[in-house]
Amino acid sequence: MLYSRWKAFTKGFSYLRHTPEECRLKGQSFRSYRPVYLFCRFQHTTTQSLSKEPSTFPSNVLVETRTEIAKKLHELSGIDKHFIYESIDRPNKLDSGDLLLPVPRLKYKCNSYKELAKQWAAGLSQLPCCEKVVASGPFIQFFLNHLLLTTSSIPCILQQSDNYGRSDLLLGKRTLIEYSSPNIAKPFHAGHLRSTIIGGFLSNLHETLGSDVIRMNYLGDWGRQFGILAVGFEMFGDETKLEQDPIYHLFDVYVRINKEMLKEENSTLPSNSIKSKVRTYFKNMEEGDPSALQLWKRLRDLSIQKYAETYSKLNIKFDSYSGESSVPPDTVRQVLQRLGEKGLTYKDNGATAVDLSVYSKNLGQVIIQKSDDTSLYVTRDIGAAVSRYEKYHFDKMIYVISSQQDLYMSQLFKILELLGYEWAKDLAHVNFGMVKGMSTRKGNVVFLDTIINEATNRMLQVLQGNPQKCKQVSDPYDTAQKIAISAIMIQDMQSKRVNNYDFKWDRMLSFEGDTGPYLEYTHSRLYSIGEKCSDITMKDCKTADFTLLTEPLAINLVRLLVQYPDVLLKSLTTMEPSTVVSYLFRVAHQVSSCYNVLWVAGQEPRVAAARLALYCSAKQVLKNGMRLIGLTPVNRM
Would you say residue 154 lies in a domain? yes
pLDDT at position 186 is 64
pLDDT in tens, 324-334: 888 888 888 89
312 located within any domain:
no
Residue 580 placed within a domain: yes
Q: CB of 616 within 8 A of CB of 523?
A: no
- Place 489 in a pLDDT band, splitting at 50, 70 and 90: very high
Q: Where a domain ends, among 107, 141, 163?
A: 163
Q: Are 20 and 35 in contact (CB under 8 A)?
A: no
What ranges make up the beta strands (E) of 290-442?
320-323, 345-348, 351-355, 365-369, 396-400, 427-430, 435-436
- Helix (H/G/I), strand (E/B), else coil: 58: coil
CATH of the domain at 140: 3.30.1360.70
pLDDT range class, residue 269, cuts 50, 70, 90: low
Q: Is residue 38 part of a domain?
A: yes
pLDDT tens, 586-616?
999 999 999 999 999 999 999 999 999 999 9
Average pLDDT over residues 462-473: 90
130-136 and 139-144 as β-strands: parallel, antiparallel, unpaired?
A: antiparallel
pLDDT of residue 86: 94
461 has pLDDT over 50 = yes
Residue 60: the pLDDT is 80
Q: What average pLDDT score do residues 88-101 get?
A: 95
Q: Which of 276, 255, 254 lies closest to 264 in space, CA to CA?
A: 276
| Diameter of the chain measured on Cα atoms | 104
Residue 533 CB-half CA count within 13 A:
27
Q: Report how far residue 216's alpha carbon sits from residue 199's, in angstroms, rounded to the nearest whole number.
A: 10
Q: Residue 104: its pLDDT value, please?
A: 97
Domain that holds residue 494: 448-628
The CA–CA distances, whole Å, from 482 to 44, 448, 528, 611 equal: 47, 15, 18, 29
What distance in Å separates the CA atoms of residue 423 and residue 435, rounded to the nearest whole number? Answer: 33
CA distances from 513 to 504, 509, 522, 526 (A): 14, 10, 12, 18
Q: What is the pLDDT of residue 445?
A: 57
Q: Tell me if 530 is assigned to some domain.
A: yes
Mean of pLDDT values over 520-546: 95
Residue 191: HSE in the Cβ half-sphere, 13 Å Cα cutoff: 14
- The domain that contains 473 carries what CATH number? 1.10.730.10
What's the pLDDT at 8?
A: 40
Distance CA 580, CA 626 (A): 9
pLDDT above 70 (res 352) = yes
Of the chain, the percentage scoring pLDDT greater than 70 comes to 87
pLDDT exceeds cutoff 60 at 441: no
Question: Per-residue pLDDT for 383 more than 70?
Answer: yes
Residue 501 is predicted with a pLDDT of: 83
Q: Note whether residue 519 is domain-resident.
A: yes
Given 132, 163, 194, the domain boundary residue is 163
CB 582 within 8 A of CB 179: no
Q: What is the mean pLDDT of residues 118-130?
A: 94
Examine residue 490 and state whether it is found in any structural domain, yes or no: yes
**pTM value surpassing 0.75:** yes
Q: Please report, as a single letter, which amino acid is at residue 283.
A: K
- Say what the pLDDT of residue 271 is: 53
380 in a domain, yes or no?
Answer: no
Alpha carbon dihedral 394, 310, 503, 183, in 10-degree steps, equals -60
* pLDDT score of 449: 81
Mean pLDDT, range 235-253, rounded to an integer:
89
Could you count the other beta carbons within 10 Å of the beta carbon of residue 347?
10
Which pairs with CB-CB distance under 8 Å and at least 24 residues apart come from 35-38? 35/128, 35/129, 35/130, 35/131, 35/145, 35/147, 35/148, 36/145, 36/147, 36/148, 36/151, 38/128
* Number of continuous H segments (helices) and E segments (strands) in the chain: 26, 13
Q: Tell me how far apart the alpha carbons of residues 200 and 180 are, in angstroms, rounded to a whole number.
A: 9
User: What is the mean pLDDT of the segment spanning 469-488?
Assistant: 93
Higher pLDDT among residues 504 and 491, named by residue: 491
* Per-residue b or e along 448-468, where b marks 16 or more CB atoms closer than 10 Å to that residue's CB: bbbbbebbbebbbebbeeeee
What is the count of structural domains for the chain?
Answer: 2
Tell me the CA distances in angstroms from 50 to 44, 83, 316, 375, 533, one per residue in order.
10, 15, 38, 55, 40
Does 298 score more than 70 pLDDT? yes
Contact 555, 626 (CB under 8 A): no
**Per-residue pLDDT, 267:** 61
Quick one: pLDDT band at residue 43, thresholds 50, 70, 90? very low
DSSP state of 290: H
Q: Which of 163, 189, 221 is the endpoint of a domain?
A: 163
Whole-number average pLDDT of the chain: 87
Q: Which residues contact 277 (CB under 8 A, 6 or more apart)?
A: 227, 231
Catalytic residue set: 186, 189, 192
pLDDT at residue 357 tops 60: yes
